[in-house]
Chain A
C-alpha cells in the first residue's frame, strides 16, 4: 500500500514567521488530501490536490502537489496562534494513508 512520510515531525514557530511542512510518498498518488487536527480534536479536512503541479491557496496557507505526484507541501505565512495543531497529509485510493503529521507550536 501507499506509504506517506512527513517532515518535520515538530515545528516550533515564532508568531509572525513562515514555515513549510513536506510530504513524500513511495508511490505515485492519485490525489493528496491535507487535514488539521487540534489537540484533543479530530481531523478536519483542509484541501485536496489532484493535478500534477497543482497549487491552491487558502488565505495564509499554500498547498502544492509535485509534478511527479509523489510529494506535496503546505506553506503557512505569518503564523498565528490559531495555527497550532497537527497537520496531516494523506494519500487516497478511497482509504486514506496518513503521514505521521507535523505538530506545530507557536511562540507568542
Chain B
C-alpha cells in the first residue's frame, strides 16, 4: 500500500528557470494539499485541490505559482521564473474525504534549491 509519492526528491534550478513538482496521492485519496517549509520553520499551507478542481489557493503566491490535479496523473505544483526565496521543502499531503477531521498523510517532500 504505497504512501504519498513525490518527485523529484531534490531539485536544483537556476534563477529564472521553471520548477515542476509532482505528487501522487495515496490510493483512494482524491484530496491533495501542498505546503511549503522554509528552514527552521513550520509548514505553511499553499493550495488544496480535488480532482480537476482548485478548492482553496489562498496560501499560494498569485504570481509565478500554479497548481493542478488533473483527472489522470499526479498533482503538479509549478513555479515559474524561480528566485532564491523559493528555496524550500515542498510537501504534498493527501486525504480521503477532505473534511476538517480528515487525517492528512504527507509525502517525503521535494527540496528545491535555487542557485
- Indicate if A53 sits at the interface (CB-CB under 8 A): no
B14-22, B61-69, B77-85, B95-103: which lies at the A interface? B95-103
Interface digits, B28-67 against A, CB 8 Å rule (1 contact, 0 not)? 0000010100000111110010000000101100000000
- Indicate if A59 sits at the interface (CB-CB under 8 A): no
A94-B100 in contact (CB<8A): yes
Closest 6 CB pairs of A and B: A98-B42, A95-B45, A100-B42, A42-B106, A98-B43, A43-B106
Q: Besides A1-B58, A33-B104, A96-B45, 8 other CB < 8 A contacts?
A: A6-B42, A42-B108, A48-B101, A92-B101, A94-B99, A94-B102, A98-B35, A101-B41
- Indicate if A78 sits at the interface (CB-CB under 8 A): no
Chain B: interface secondary structure? Answer: loop
B103-A88 in contact (CB<8A): no
Given contacts A95-B56, A95-B59, whether A100 and B41 have CB atoms under 8 Å apart is yes
Nearest CB in chain A: distance from B82 CB, A: 22
B100-A93 in contact (CB<8A): yes
- Indicate if A64 sits at the interface (CB-CB under 8 A): no
Closest chain B residue, CB of each to CB of A100: B42
Chain A: interface secondary structure? Answer: loop
Nearest CB in chain B: distance from A54 CB, A: 13
Q: Within the complex, which residue of B33, B41, B99, B105 is in contact with A45, where a contact is CB–CB below 8 Å?
A: B105
Closest chain B residue, CB of each to CB of A88: B42
Closest chain B residue, CB of each to CB of A97: B45
Residues from chain B with a CB closer than 8 A to the CB of A92 are 100-102
Closest chain B residue, CB of each to CB of A103: B40
B104-A45 in contact (CB<8A): yes
Given contacts A42-B91, A88-B42, whether A96 and B101 have CB atoms under 8 Å apart is no
B43-A88 in contact (CB<8A): yes
A42-B107 in contact (CB<8A): yes
- Indicate if A31 sits at the interface (CB-CB under 8 A): yes
B104-A30 in contact (CB<8A): no
Closest chain B residue, CB of each to CB of A89: B42
Nearest CB in chain A: distance from B76 CB, A: 19
